[in-house]
Amino acid sequence: MSSAPGQSAQPPVAPGRSYLVCATPRSGSTLLCNSLESTGLAGRPREYFEALKETGLPRRPREYFWELRSPEVLRLLPADSELDRDARRSPSWSRDDYGVHLAAALEEGTTPNGVFGAKLMWSYFNDFVALMRGIPRFAGLGDGSLLNAAFPELKYVFVSRSDKVRQAVSLWRALQTLVWSRDADVISEEQAEHRSVYSFDAIDHLLHQLRRHEDAWRGFFFRIGQQPLSLFYEDIAGDLEGAVGRVLEALRVERPQGALLARQPLSRQSDDLSESWVQSYLEDVSRR
């Protein structure tokens, strides 16, 4: 970013407090993180570390189903070639010099009050840690020690969703359409025309995957001896301002007078189609 003529560029703010929002997809983490960012007090908690070690790119829809190996499910997903047209690595990302990317993320994710935030999904957590260990000062550190060394005064926020079937249905729809929020940027005609199709196998696979990843997060917190601030999708959707306030309190950030949020930044995507898929899945389970 360049400064206006006659003004000196402001040096980046070094974070003094940090937090990681640890989640699984379609758990309400995006709603929470966008709301936290909108306060201007809680960093900019985005997915800075989602690029996979082998590709330098985020996980593609088909990569959610490597273990399933179902041609029928893969047929219902966008082709990799469609995604690869717009795929771009972050200019700061390098497998061999990940420290540059970490420094860029810390700069971008820190607000002027010195709070840094980021979001992590379990699906790429191990790749992230492996890349971090490539930075000499973190080599040989255990997961918890590494993260504490990288992010000062680190706190964890764990976001989960009680209704895993609805979470899996929501994820399956998003993977087919590539629409992750109703307020997302306009997508291509090809993507918009990609039809959402119910699949028991896909939803069932994602349901078990989401459960495993949540269990993995809980195991991680137990292993490093940390008790995260736990928030549920249902609580975030029902009292967004209250959820944001709890995070600020955990970070010891003074809450401003008046309302924290001017508006709810994202619309909920659940609709009649999602509900019909939920019922279809439950009926299919009962017949098996």
Higher pLDDT, 137 or 89: 137
Question: 17-163+215-258 has which CATH code?
Answer: 3.40.50.300
**What pLDDT, in 10s, does the model give residues 122-144?**
999 999 999 999 999 999 999 99
Neighbouring residues of 190: CB distance < 8 A, sequence distance ≥ 6: 82
Q: Verify whether residue 190 is a known catalytic residue.
A: no
Instruction: Say whether pLDDT at 183 is over 60.
Output: no
Instruction: Say whether pLDDT at 224 is over 70.
Output: yes
Q: Find tokens 């990302």 and name the residue.
A: 93
Angle among Cα 251, 240, 167 to the nearest 5 degrees reads 105
The amino acid present at 176, given as its one-letter code, is: Q
The catalytic residue among 47, 67, 234, 249 is: 47
Q: With residue 119 as reference, give the H or E element that holds it.
A: strand 115-121
**What pLDDT, in 10s, does the model give residues 142-172?**
999 999 999 999 999 999 999 999 999 999 9
| Predicted local confidence at residue 69, as pLDDT | 86
Compute the distance between CA of residue 66 and CA of residue 61 in angstroms, rounded to an integer.
10
Residue 100's Cβ-count burial label (10 Å; 0-12, 13-18, 19+) is middle
- pLDDT, the chain, mean: 89
**Sign of torsion over alpha carbons 164, 239, 156, 132:** positive
pLDDT > 90 fraction of the chain, expressed in percent and rounded = 76
Name the pLDDT band for 263 (thresholds 50, 70, 90).
low
